[in-house]
Amino acid sequence: MFPRVNTLEGLAMGNLTALAVKNAKPGDKLGDGGGLRLDVDKNGNRSWVFRYTSPTTGKERYAGFGSASEVTLAEARDARDEARKLIRNNIDPIENRISERAKAQAAETGVISFEGYAKQYIAGKEAGWKNEKHRRQWSNSLRDYAYPIIGSIAVPDVDTAAVLLKGGRRPKS
């Protein structure tokens, strides 16, 4: 019989060992499967990199998971698995990381995000709206179209350029 291979969506997983990580030479790019690899630069610095196709833009991207001296092989695999879950839910892992950092910074500084402000605005205005359908349209439109792009941006930072950049388009100069 054939040896059992740990797979995720048809890709061989778990190819690397701790010994292989330790013995990697400068210039090596050692794949572990599922998009995770260990890159070793010319100075011998080892770093974990996750290669994937962005579910929002369709472009190839590379997410860094940290230095192999600080992040173990098991931790890098866990990070890869979490990133793959996000991708299956149509969330770009890099954009998600940026959004989470922005939310944490906004909570720390007390600055309100666009999403928080929009929810407050709707709560204040909905009493004057004609019906429940109108309120749902506002909430659903913002949830589906605005929050994924600019929801985590602080209100003072929301401008046309920020919206276009977060939406994957470059502003015209």
Q: Is 7-90 a domain of CATH 3.30.160.390? A: yes
Cβ–Cβ < 8 Å for 29, 38: yes
pTM reported for the whole predicted model: 0.60
Q: Does domain 94-166 have CATH number 1.10.150.130?
A: yes
pLDDT in tens, the chain (173 residues): 444 334 444 445 668 999 999 999 999 999 999 999 999 999 999 999 999 999 888 899 999 999 999 999 999 999 999 999 999 998 889 888 877 887 777 777 777 888 888 888 888 887 777 788 888 888 888 888 888 888 888 888 888 877 777 766 554 55
H or E, element range at 46: strand 46-53
Domain range summary for the chain, segments of one domain joined by +: 7-90, 94-166
Q: What are phi and psi of 71, to 5 degrees?
A: -115, 120
